[in-house]
Structure 1
Amino acid sequence: MRRLGVVAAVVLSAAAVVPGADATTASATPVCGGLDHLRIPASVMSLPTTGGQVEAVSVKTSVVSGQTVQYCQVDADLFPVDPAAPHIKMRVALPYGWNHKALMFGGGGYNGTIPDLASNVPFGPADQPAPLARRYATFASDSGHQQNPAVPPSLDGSFGVNDEAVRNFSAGDALKKTRDASLFLIRHAYHATPHEIYFAGGSTGGREALNVAQRWPDAFDGVISGYPAWNNLAEVLDLGYLTQVLSRPGAFPGPEKQTLLYNKVIDACDGLDGLKDRVVSNPDACRFNPRTLRCPGGADTGPGCLSDPQIDAVIAMSTPFRWPYRVASGETQYPGFPFLSGADMRTPFLGFGTTAPANPMPVTSGYGMQYWDQWVKYFLTRDPQYNSLDLDPRNPGKWLGRISYLSTIQDRNNADLRPFARAGGKLLLLHGAADELVSPFATNDYYERVRDVVGPGQTRGFLRYYVVPGANHANFGTPAFAAGWDSLTALERWVEKGQSPVNPVVTDLAHNRTRPLCEFPAWPRYRGGNPDSAASFTCAR
């Protein structure tokens, strides 16, 4: 238990309200009745709030991972400093038979809803229980704003008009506020502080996972970061550029052409890992040229080819986007997406979408295009009527200063994780090689930055990074490889027993096959035998 000094303030404050609360009175059964309408003092949170209050307490019985779990659900609001800012709505699940551990979940997209506390970690396994079924106390928040039900889930950026709400979401302030308040409630319920505290999140939640390791290195013992959108401002600028490219006349490749592209990439690159299984395990060797699909004369002559504008759009998506100005975060580019991303008709809404971007932005356009539209309207211009297609991210004009400022909040790019490592923290980092919403190339970049700053040997002492071939963003739709790995058990063993991951195996949840989970930059190469067994592969460089 390495956080005794860190949680001292929380413990002392909680002890002032719960006399005699210490290890000798610890219980595995939550005391729910004493939490109803409990006031949460501002002093238990290390960042500014005006306190909080429990709004509802109920005892629930749910089937989680096939197990019947009884737990106390606590809903609370944390109050802002700015009266105009939204509350942070948070929730804690306090199981009966508590294992004396806690886990915080990150969100997704623009957040705005509280994650399901009975869910699993990113790329979680199908054959192992979710954290709540393991009797973790789980907690999360909406990150400080509430989703408009009239907007597609996780795509409501309207809170961006308020500075405190932006910091709660983009800078991650709501994470620490929620963590501190949750520990206060856990101590009240069990008369004990958790032995270990973990964090798990993917996409926006993956950025949040890296954020807590960067900003509060003592706050969590172990972190699982899946497909993290860590350089959020950089990616938004690329998404804005791609939105403009895809909105050009004739540039948008419809679903049939997306499927054509996907199949041709598979045909060209599938066997480069030694096995034709419709999973490209060696993407660095893939040198597909979309111009081989050019229609005669470059005109759009049907679903069996790509026109010149469509080829230009595909190339733009797979090419690094660089902007000709400086932003305060220091980022200079976004690395683009693999050819496999978004080209599969099975996952259109996260990649290209099914219709071209337009004004107003269709809900059938790509997720990233809708994300850009909300960002321009609420974060950048703070004008809901602004046409996001009118803003050129290569030449933003009067908006450059605002873009630069937002980069300091949205790009969580501190690669110096030595304080986290010194505190004993462990980090598992995962990304799908065919991610269509957050580029795996960006995560490669962040990992390499950490190695450059910390050093290769020291980095391996606290960090493992795995790229999963064929996996897309969050196993959305029907990916070529639906990744499932028991990362939580691996993290527990590393944190609690000092046993780092050794030869981990990832399962394809959709096709009943396994592959070795190779440390980046290695990839699984087929060496003969049962093609559905990880034992038939070796990690190659």
Structure 2
Amino acid sequence: MLLKPTYLATAVLGLLPAVNARLRTCVPRDLPAIEVFGLQVVDITAKEHRGYEDWRPSPMTGISVPKRPIDFCNVTITYTHPGQGDRVNVYVWLPLEDWNGRFLGQGGGGWTAGWEMSLAPSVAAGYAVAITDAGHELSSSLPDMNKTSSWTLTSPGNINWVLLQNFASRALDDLPKVARQVVQGFYGEAAKFSYWSGCSTGGRQGLMSAQRYPKNYDGIVATAPAINWATFVVAELWAHIVMRKVGYYPPNCEFEAIRQAAIKACDELDRVKDGVVAAPGLCTFDAKSIVGQTFDCDGNAHKISAKAGEITNAIWEGPVRNGKRAWYGLPHEAPLTGLALTECNASNENCEGKPFLASVSWIRDVVMSGQDIDLSALNEDEYWNILHRSVSDFASIISTDDPDLSDFKTAGGKMITWHGLADQLIPVNGTSDYYEKVLALDPDAKSYYRYFEAPGVTHCAGGPGAAPNAVLDTLVKWVEHGIAPETLDAATVPVDKAEAARHRPLCLYPLVAAYVGGDLAESGSFECAESFDVVKRHTEL
């Protein structure tokens, strides 16, 4: 829950001396005057919290920390950019004891610029942590965070460019400049290191910081980043364009039956049978190959339709026009109900499309400036016009696909990105495409930017695959001790608590984790290689 009127901060590694004695009390009058060029503070509030337990660990934070009561000073800085008419809040949570000497900026998701759920775990790990609302209300529920409401418009037909730019970039520059002054004033000393961690929108925010504000952070974790926002957010509507064109909206159970068939067909391409597609680039499964096969839908038998096969293949292929792909499709293992969700009657018939809310909001409230457009009735020509308009009008504002990280390199920054290969919302190929462009521009980029892929992991977390849960710790070791990660330690989260977690190394791209023998549940049974062909023996789980 979001505490009014303040927010919190934490730390991960105990590698720096902990700071316990505070020089100031948790009251506004003892906090410093905030001075940032182009910014005017209009309010500061502060409140002390002790024994706070209303939180839980979150995989979104990049931190692995057990739940415990925490004590912190919750500070809210409200400011405006004079003449712009905005009102932005920065929420800073400051550990009362055992501050690890580090500042951490945490990112958001969807249309929300900051996740309040990331604050408490960060404080529990010792960090002074902060988030921003970028000038519009924070959201914690999935439906709310994927809707823009009305903040993107000043009036119908007129975009609120101030708030859009705040969300896209400017508030990300303000955040560390404001929060670090609070940290220094509260503890009587500056943070020794500054970090950023975020997934999805938070990943985009991390890349925006590296590209435009390269001196703001010593280290950045940018997970499953929404890099090519202006392109892929419109591309997320592609499934519904195809379903309208074909004239069929498959029930979700039909999509799932096709997905499970694809997983079964492509599971062992990595020489390991574990229910995970670790080699999506080798998976050529054709959904039309199982047309006519029977599947179960809520206890009733149905047959895979030719139209469902055609639609699914198009979703996997991605938006294509005149033989040219406009953007990447979903991997075969990704759940299709993220972007191809349908809603049916009790008999799983008479289905209609339910497009992803973030895409609907972007197209209606930004690209089309609030026009009342029926997205369910779009034809292909209209769709391509919207995609073109989105990229031409907004890519320079919100997308983070600039491969030139030379200023970040010069500043001494380090960055880690990882992305699940079963991501159902942001096609993972967009991230590998970006990383390859970075390497093409600077072959030495691995000295400051490293990318890892996580087979079987869905958006930010979840799925049957092994995901890393302490990436921030890894980043801290790289920044502060020069230990560059060759792998990320990852583990599954068993659905059945009686099951033991399986551990896998995530290899530095483009290497893959090849099975070399031994217990499939142990990381030591895998080694990073150029292909999966180094396998010594094959054991079925």
TM-score range, shorter chain: 0.7 to 0.9
- The 5 A counterparts of 1:251-262 are 251-262=248-259
Deviation at 1:84, TM superposition (A): 4.6
Paired residue for 2:492? Answer: 508
Q: Secondary structure at the match of 2:144?
A: coil
Paired residue for 1:140? Answer: 131
Paired residue for 1:461? Answer: 447
Q: Deviations over 1:65-117 (max 9, x none)?
A: 233321111122222445554x2222111002211101110000011664324
- The 5 A counterparts of 1:420-439 are 420-439=408-427
Residue of 317, 320, 344 corresponding to 1:319: 317
Moved more, 489-498 or 75-84: 75-84
Partners of 1:36 and 1:260 in 2: how far apart? 61
Residue of 471, 477, 481 corresponding to 1:493: 477
Moved more, 392-401 or 416-425: 392-401
On the 8 A contact 2:239/2:339 being kept in 1, the answer is: no
Partners of 2:122 and 2:215 in 1: how far apart? 21
The answer to whether the aligner puts 1:480 opposite 2:464 as a matched pair is yes
Deviation at 1:62, TM superposition (A): 2.5
Moved more, 216-225 or 268-277: 268-277
Q: Deviations over 1:247-284 (max 9, x none)?
A: 45653222211221121012101111112110111221
Deviation at 1:334, TM superposition (A): 1.7
On the 8 A contact 1:207/1:230 being kept in 2, the answer is: yes
Partners of 1:115 and 1:449 in 2: how far apart? 33
Partners of 2:116 and 2:45 in 1: how far apart? 18
Q: How many residues in Structure 1 have an aligned counterpart in Structure 2? A: 474
Give the partner amino acid of 2:179.
Answer: S
Q: Secondary structure at the match of 1:424?
A: coil
Q: Secondary structure at the match of 1:371?
A: helix
Partners of 2:217 and 2:80 in 1: how far apart? 24
Paired residue for 1:537? Answer: 526
On the 8 A contact 2:513/2:527 being kept in 1, the answer is: yes
On the 8 A contact 1:55/1:75 being kept in 2, the answer is: yes
Deviation at 1:405, TM superposition (A): 1.6
- The 5 A counterparts of 1:145-160 are 145-146=136-137, 152-157=143-148, 158-160=150-152
Deviation at 1:240, TM superposition (A): 2.9
Partners of 1:70 and 1:341 in 2: how far apart? 40
Paired residue for 2:71? Answer: 70
Q: Secondary structure at the match of 2:465?
A: coil
Q: Secondary structure at the match of 1:58?
A: strand
Deviation at 1:163, TM superposition (A): 0.8
On the 8 A contact 2:422/2:457 being kept in 1, the answer is: yes
Q: Secondary structure at the match of 1:335?
A: coil
Partners of 1:148 and 1:279 in 2: how far apart? 32
On the 8 A contact 1:438/1:473 being kept in 2, the answer is: yes
On the 8 A contact 2:364/2:370 being kept in 1, the answer is: yes
Residue of 259, 280, 285 corresponding to 1:283: 280
Paired residue for 2:226? Answer: 229
**Consecutive unaligned residues in structure 1, runs of 5 or more:** 1-25, 120-129, 325-330, 357-363
On the 8 A contact 2:418/2:453 being kept in 1, the answer is: yes
Partners of 2:33 and 2:330 in 1: how far apart? 44
On the 8 A contact 1:508/1:514 being kept in 2, the answer is: yes
Deviation at 1:34, TM superposition (A): 4.4
Q: Secondary structure at the match of 1:67?
A: coil
Change (3 A) 1:27 1:530: closer
- The 5 A counterparts of 1:168-179 are 168-170=166-168, 172-179=169-176
Moved more, 142-151 or 494-503: 142-151
Q: Deviations over 1:311-331 (max 9, x none)?
A: 23212211142568xxxxxx9
Q: Deviations over 1:433-491 (max 9, x none)?
A: 00000111000001001000111xx1111111110010011224xx1125133211211
The answer to whether the aligner puts 1:444 opposite 2:432 as a matched pair is yes
Give the partner amino acid of 1:67.
Answer: R
On the 8 A contact 2:237/2:356 being kept in 1, the answer is: yes
Paired residue for 2:457? Answer: 471
Deviation at 1:519, TM superposition (A): 1.3
Partners of 2:312 and 2:31 in 1: how far apart? 55
Percent of aligned positions with the same letter in both sequences?
Answer: 25
The TM-score normalised by the length of structure 1 is 0.80
Paired residue for 1:334? Answer: 327
Change (3 A) 1:82 1:304: farther
Q: Secondary structure at the match of 2:129?
A: strand
Q: Deviations over 1:317-373 (max 9, x none)?
A: 11142568xxxxxx9832111011124xxxx4x3432428xxxxxxx966x622221
Q: Secondary structure at the match of 2:117?
A: coil
On the 8 A contact 1:293/1:305 being kept in 2, the answer is: no
**Consecutive unaligned residues in structure 2, runs of 5 or more:** 1-18, 54-64, 154-159, 345-351, 495-499, 531-541
Change (3 A) 1:365 1:523: farther
Partners of 2:434 and 2:446 in 1: how far apart? 15
The TM-score normalised by the length of structure 2 is 0.80
Residue of 85, 102, 122 corresponding to 1:131: 122
Change (3 A) 1:439 1:137: same
Moved more, 51-60 or 404-413: 51-60
Change (3 A) 1:410 1:221: same
Q: Secondary structure at the match of 2:439?
A: helix
Deviation at 1:174, TM superposition (A): 0.9
Deviation at 1:529, TM superposition (A): 1.1
Q: Secondary structure at the match of 2:143?
A: coil
On the 8 A contact 1:257/1:306 being kept in 2, the answer is: yes
Change (3 A) 1:58 1:385: farther
Change (3 A) 1:398 1:315: closer
The answer to whether the aligner puts 1:373 opposite 2:364 as a matched pair is no
Partners of 1:393 and 1:177 in 2: how far apart? 40
Give the partner amino acid of 1:341.
Answer: A
Residue of 484, 495, 514 corresponding to 1:525: 514
- The 5 A counterparts of 1:19-168 are 28-29=21-22, 31-35=24-28, 41=34, 43-45=35-37, 48-63=38-53, 65-81=66-82, 84-85=85-86, 87-96=87-96, 97-111=98-112, 114-118=115-119, 130-146=121-137, 152-157=143-148, 158-161=150-153, 162-168=160-166
Paired residue for 1:203? Answer: 200
Q: Secondary structure at the match of 1:414?
A: coil
Q: Deviations over 1:134-179 (max 9, x none)?
A: 2110110122211589992212213221111111112x21111122
On the 8 A contact 2:88/2:135 being kept in 1, the answer is: yes
Give the partner amino acid of 2:529.
Answer: A
Change (3 A) 1:337 1:400: closer
On the 8 A contact 1:224/1:429 being kept in 2, the answer is: yes
Residue of 291, 294, 306 corresponding to 1:294: 291
On the 8 A contact 1:226/1:429 being kept in 2, the answer is: yes
Give the partner amino acid of 1:369.
Answer: F
Q: Secondary structure at the match of 2:343?
A: coil
Paired residue for 2:216? Answer: 219
On the 8 A contact 1:27/1:191 being kept in 2, the answer is: no
Moved more, 87-96 or 246-255: 246-255
Change (3 A) 1:117 1:275: closer
Partners of 2:513 and 2:129 in 1: how far apart? 34
Change (3 A) 1:40 1:250: farther
Q: Secondary structure at the match of 2:404?
A: coil
Partners of 1:290 and 1:379 in 2: how far apart? 35
Residue of 401, 406, 426 corresponding to 1:413: 401
On the 8 A contact 1:376/1:386 being kept in 2, the answer is: no
Deviation at 1:408, TM superposition (A): 1.3
